[in-house]
Structure 1
Amino acid sequence: MTRTTLNRRRFALLAAAAVAAPSLRAQGKPEKTKVAIAVGGKAAFYYLPLTISEQLGYFKAEGLDVEISDFAGGAKALQALMGNSADVVSGAYEHTINMQSKNQFIQSIVLMGRAPQIAMGVSVKAVPGYKGLADLRGKKIGVSAPGSSTNMVSNLVLSRAGIKATEVSYVGVGTGAGALAALRSGQIDAMCNTDPVMTMLEQKGDVRIISDTRTLKGTHEVFGGPMPAACFYTHSDFVRQNPNTCQALANAIVHGLKWLQTAGPSDIIKTVPESYLLGDRALYLASFNKVREAINIDGVLPEDGAKTALKALASFEPTVKPEKIDLAKTYTNDFARRAKDKFKA
């Protein structure tokens, strides 16, 4: 065999290896190392992967200096993005669809939740004789913030009973101690919120749960399919201009998701801030066990999940026309898949 033939064969082998292992290519440095993240109700389990990745230093490990601003609800976090005071939002995937219906293009880059983890409950004290959803007409319903995912889920549940959003009053109560106080003091008649708040109210006998998306089974019953929940979303232009930054963000979150797959209750308690426990460690852990399967495993958003979200939104939001929404522009799995390969998630 001639040296030329050998060199050709060696070149062919190297070329084949390069094609077969694109994920092994070195990741470039983030274009933007300081990243402002907006979130609506950071202490909720809905955003636990964000807190875990922050507390364990996974953003720093990716070369990022993140500043996280916490708002009363997802709608306020979205406003921060649209007002250019945040680069990225840790929020509900359905906002990407809602905004596209208004000709604003934002995109999910990594999925944290594969179920909304939102439950709706009626106050046992305020509505003692509750028989069905019709009893909520004219009532005050607490949500994290008007326009947030808790508000959207409530609208969906009520719409199935023929109740319009205008036939109830929505009150923003946040996702922490204020939400507990609002229901217990009688300021609201029902609540649609996340955990640990809902489990705490449920276990103390303050509410009767009437709709539950804290499990995959419950989510399927409410939405008729898988429903993507918390994600990192940002302007489509930001994704195009800062691919390495987006990859670093996805890496940090998927690293956190991987950690959560094997974390025990004591690991969670040691990692989250004390204030997140709302003064009741045992109930906080009971809440975690209830929502654990709702946390995503690998950061990837399922295609059928995007379709479920569009169908759900269109059922109660007249401005959302399914035929005018391009779902492919509402999310990308490119970053999540690379992060999944990197961390074997």
Structure 2
Amino acid sequence: MGYGKHFAAALLAATTLFAAGCRDSRTIPMADGRPQITIMVGGLEKVIYLPAMLTKQLGFFEKNDIDVKLLGEQSGANAETALLTGDVQGVIGFYDHTIDLQAKDQCLKSVVQFADVPGEVELVSKADTAAITSVRDLKGRNLGVTSLGSSTDFLTQALTGQEGLTTADYTRVKVGAGQTFIAGMNHNGIDAGMTTDPTVAQMVTSGEAKVLVDMRTEAGTRAALGGLYPSTSLYMRCDTIDAHPDIVRKLVAAFVQTLRWITAHTPEEIAAKMPPQYANAGKDLYIQSIRDSIGMFNGTGLMKPEGAQNVRNILGRYSRNVAPVRDRIKVEETYTTAFVEEALRGARR
């Protein structure tokens, strides 16, 4: 998910809705004494966001006395507008959005950090594998990103920037994710592009693409970006967190329980808990996609400060919002570990 050129429109829409008397983001609906939480997820079927649906499937929301509705939304502009206007109480997406929004004087915080690495892969199309064998070979090519200004856009710029390339050296093409990404690669729309599992497993297994850079592991991420890049997180408005710490505590506890469950179970066991339609390309392929990406989840929910700082450094170079104000960005205000630490203490008792 991302903002880019859509951010101004999204922010304007949010401002207009606020002025019209939209829902107070600090108000959380209740039913039969249970909080009714709505969370927007940047692609429910993506393995990088698997803990969202898995938590629901495992019943951990209910066990923590909260009701949670998960909404899938590929558009960062729509997700951010929904969060800013209070139509949803949280977003499960990339942590970098909290920094990008701080540059616009909006306060969002990651309350649980699922992953220290992006879980993203730079794929090269079958037709170009002989010519593209390194990041430097991406010069002059069409490179697929989810959208301009998205996390995949920032990561593409950071990845190529490590090799001295700038956006003047290649063309970024908006191709979305899933089937639209596959279509773009198979019909000469892009030569290479950044995407996640299960798309990666599907294209590699079929021979339609080859992995150029793998950021599903810590080693691969450090090699590609010069450090960690925390990605999947649950982030919320600061005023919502401040107004409802008890509800946030329950929500975080549910996700921490899921992260601990993941570390104790196999890809086969994880796949069996997920909705059957997520394996529409085949059960074995879905299990393979989980096996290839599941190591990205940190098992604790804690943010690593070095990772947060590296995200700020990267956005400070490649985000149009952050670059002009990078020196006043306060990274420590974009996440909190307090709720996760409390959940972990409770789990150990």
Q: TM-score, normalized by length of structure 1?
A: 0.84
Residue aligned with 2:336, SS: coil
Q: Given residue 334 of structure 2, which amino acid in structure 1 is its aligned partner? A: T
Residue aligned with 1:99, SS: helix
Structure 1 residue 140 displacement after superposition: 3.4
Is 1:325 the counterpart of 2:329? The answer is: yes
Q: Given residue 253 of structure 1, which amino acid in structure 2 is its aligned partner? A: F
Match of 2:242 in 1: 240
Residue number among 37, 62, 65 corresponding to 2:64 in the alignment: 62
Q: Tell me if the contact between 1:74 and 1:147 (Cα under 8 Å) persists in the aligned partners.
A: no
Q: Tell me if the contact between 2:41 and 2:73 (Cα under 8 Å) persists in the aligned partners.
A: yes
> Matched residues, percent identical?
27
Counterpart Cα distance in 1 of 2:133 and 2:215 = 21
Structure 1 residue 185 displacement after superposition: 3.1
Structure 1 residue 186 displacement after superposition: 2.9
Query: Cα RMSD between the aligned structures?
Result: 2.3
Structure 1 residue 263 displacement after superposition: 1.3
The alpha-carbon distance between structure 1 residues 277 and 34, as it changes in their structure 2 partners (threshold 3 A), is same
Match of 2:338 in 1: 334
Counterpart Cα distance in 1 of 2:277 and 2:184 = 18
Counterpart Cα distance in 2 of 1:309 and 1:75 = 20
Q: Given residue 336 of structure 1, which amino acid in structure 2 is its aligned partner? A: V
Residue number among 218, 221, 224 corresponding to 2:220 in the alignment: 218
Counterpart Cα distance in 2 of 1:145 and 1:271 = 31
Structure 2: 5+ residue runs without aligned partners?
Answer: 1-27
Match of 1:121 in 2: 123
Structure 1 residue 132 displacement after superposition: 4.5
Structure 1 residue 74 displacement after superposition: 4.4
Structure 1 residue 280 displacement after superposition: 2.2
Residue aligned with 1:233, SS: strand
The alpha-carbon distance between structure 1 residues 127 and 290, as it changes in their structure 2 partners (threshold 3 A), is closer
Q: TM-score, normalized by length of structure 2?
A: 0.83
Structure 1: 5+ residue runs without aligned partners?
Answer: 1-29
Q: Tell me if the contact between 1:106 and 1:330 (Cα under 8 Å) persists in the aligned partners.
A: yes
Counterpart Cα distance in 2 of 1:76 and 1:208 = 32
Counterpart Cα distance in 2 of 1:77 and 1:62 = 25
The alpha-carbon distance between structure 1 residues 328 and 147, as it changes in their structure 2 partners (threshold 3 A), is same
What is the aligned length? Answer: 315
Q: Given residue 292 of structure 2, which amino acid in structure 1 is its aligned partner? A: K
Q: Given residue 72 of structure 1, which amino acid in structure 2 is its aligned partner? A: Q
Q: How does 1:1-345 map to 2 (within 5 A)?
A: 33-74=35-76, 76-125=78-127, 129-130=131-132, 132-133=134-135, 135-137=137-139, 139-165=141-167, 167-174=170-177, 176-318=178-320, 319-320=322-323, 321-344=325-348
The alpha-carbon distance between structure 1 residues 113 and 75, as it changes in their structure 2 partners (threshold 3 A), is farther
Residue aligned with 1:208, SS: strand
Stretch of structure 1 that moved more, 31-40 or 124-133: 124-133
